[in-house]
Amino acid sequence: MVELKNIDYAIGGNQILQDVSLTVGGKETLAILGASGSGKSTILKVILGLAKPDRGEVMIQGQDISLVTYSELVDIRKKIGIVFQDGALFDSITVGENVGYYFMEHKNLSHEEVEPLVLEMLDTVGLKHTLDMMPDELSGGMRRRVAIARALIYKPSLILYDEPTTGLDPVAKDSILELIDKLKEEHNVASVIVTHDLDDAYQAADRFVVIRNGQVVWGGTRRQFAAQRDKMIAKYFCAPYKAVC
Ligand SMILES: Nc1ncnc2c1ncn2[C@@H]1O[C@H](COP(=O)(O)OP(=O)(O)O)[C@@H](O)[C@H]1O
Ligand SMILES: [Mg+2]
C-alpha cells in the first residue's frame, strides 16, 4: 500500500527526516512511535505528498508520487483518509454536514444524495444518532469518531491517524482503538497510527517502527515489540536526565 524508500527531508537547513524507509501492507496497521518532535507527523505529510522529500521515493499502491501529475496526486489522495488529533471539525455546522461536506463539494452532489452515505458512515462509527447535533455537543472521543466517519466517506484504502488517542480518557481511547481495528477487519483498510503511546500502539498495530530525531531506529512485529518494549523505552523514549520513565 505504502512504501517509503530512503527519505531525506530538510526545512531551512534542518534535517527533519533522514534515510527513512518503511512499508505498510494492505490490511495492515503500522504504528509510528516516537517522542514529540521526532518527525512522525512529517512522515504522514510525506505520504500525502504535502512535504516533498529531498531524496528517496514515496510509492502509494505502486505509484511513485513524485512522477504523477497534480490531478493524479489528487486521485491518489482520495484513497487516503486522514484523522487529526483534535478531530478538526467545523463547529458552526452539524455533525452530518461535517461528515458529508467535502464529498458534497467534490462530487457535486446534493444534500439529499449525500445524507444516506453520511448516515452509513456515522453508523459505522456508532454515532448515527448524532447526525443533527452540533460538534460542541459531543465528547472528545465522539468528535474523533466523527472525524473517522468523515475520512471513511471516500472509502479509502489507507487511513492515517495522527495521535488518535491523545488527550482521551481510557474508555474513549479504547473505543477509538477498537474502531481502528474494526475498520481494518471489516473494511480492509490499511492504517498508519502515529503515536507516542506505546500501550495504544500495541493494542492497535500489527507492525511498529520507532523514530528518533528523524531516523528509524527500530522496527518489528508485535512479538518483537512485546519482548523488547522495556529496553526500547529506556533506549529511545527516556531523556537521559529523567530518573524514572
Ligand atoms: N514547518 C516547519 N518548519 C520548521 N520546522 C518544522 C516544521 N514542521 C516540523 N518541523 C520540525 O520538525 C521536527 C519534526 O516535527 P513533527 O514531524 O511534527 O514531529 P512529531 O509529529 O513527531 O511531534 C520538529 O523538530 C519540528 O520542530
Ligand atoms: Mg506530530
42 Cα to the center of ligand 1, angstroms: 7
User: What's the number of domains the chain is made of?
Assistant: 2
Confidence at residue 190, expressed as pLDDT on a 0 to 100 scale: 95
In this structure, are 59 and 164 located in the same domain?
yes
Confidence at residue 245, expressed as pLDDT on a 0 to 100 scale: 46
Confidence at residue 242, expressed as pLDDT on a 0 to 100 scale: 47
**pLDDT tens-digit readout, 73-102:** 988 988 999 998 766 888 899 999 999 988
Task: Report the atom number in ligand 1 closest to the C-alpha of 43.
Answer: 17
- Quick one: cell of 72? 493524479
Confidence at residue 111, expressed as pLDDT on a 0 to 100 scale: 82
In this predicted structure, the answer to whether residue 235 has a pLDDT above a threshold of 50 is yes
Decide if 230 is inside a domain.
yes
Range(s) of the domain holding residue 166:
1-76+158-170+186-245
In this predicted structure, the answer to whether residue 220 has a pLDDT above a threshold of 90 is yes
Q: What are phi and psi of 16, to 5 degrees?
A: -95, -45
* For ligand 1, atom 5: residue with the closest CA: 11
**pLDDT tens-digit readout, 34-88:** 988 999 999 999 999 999 999 999 999 999 998 999 999 988 988 999 998 766 8
In this structure, are 46 and 113 located in the same domain?
no
In this predicted structure, the answer to whether residue 238 has a pLDDT above a threshold of 70 is no
Percent of the chain topping pLDDT 70: 96
Average confidence (pLDDT) over 124-146: 94
Decide if 176 is inside a domain.
no
In this structure, are 233 and 221 located in the same domain?
yes
In this structure, are 166 and 240 located in the same domain?
yes
In this structure, are 15 and 126 located in the same domain?
no
* Nearest-ligand number for the alpha carbon of 43: 1
DSSP letters for the chain = -EEEEEEEEEETTEEEEEEEEEEE-TT-EEEEE--TTSSHHHHHHHHHTSS--SEEEEEETTEETTSS-HHHHHHHHHTEEEE-TT----TTS-HHHHHHHHHHHHHT--HHHHHHHHHHHHHHTT-GGGTTS-GGGS-HHHHHHHHHHHHHTT--SEEEEESTTTT--HHHHHHHHHHHHHHHHHH--EEEEEES-HHHHHHH-SEEEEEETTEEEEEEEHHHHHHHHHHHIIIIIS-TT-S--
In this structure, are 25 and 105 located in the same domain?
no
CATH of the domain at 222: 3.40.50.300
Pocket of ligand 1 (CB under 6 A): 11, 14, 16, 34, 36-42
Decide if 146 is inside a domain.
yes
16 Cα to the center of ligand 1, angstroms: 7
pTM confidence score: 0.91
193 Cα to the center of ligand 2, angstroms: 11
Average pLDDT, the chain: 90
Decide if 181 is inside a domain.
no
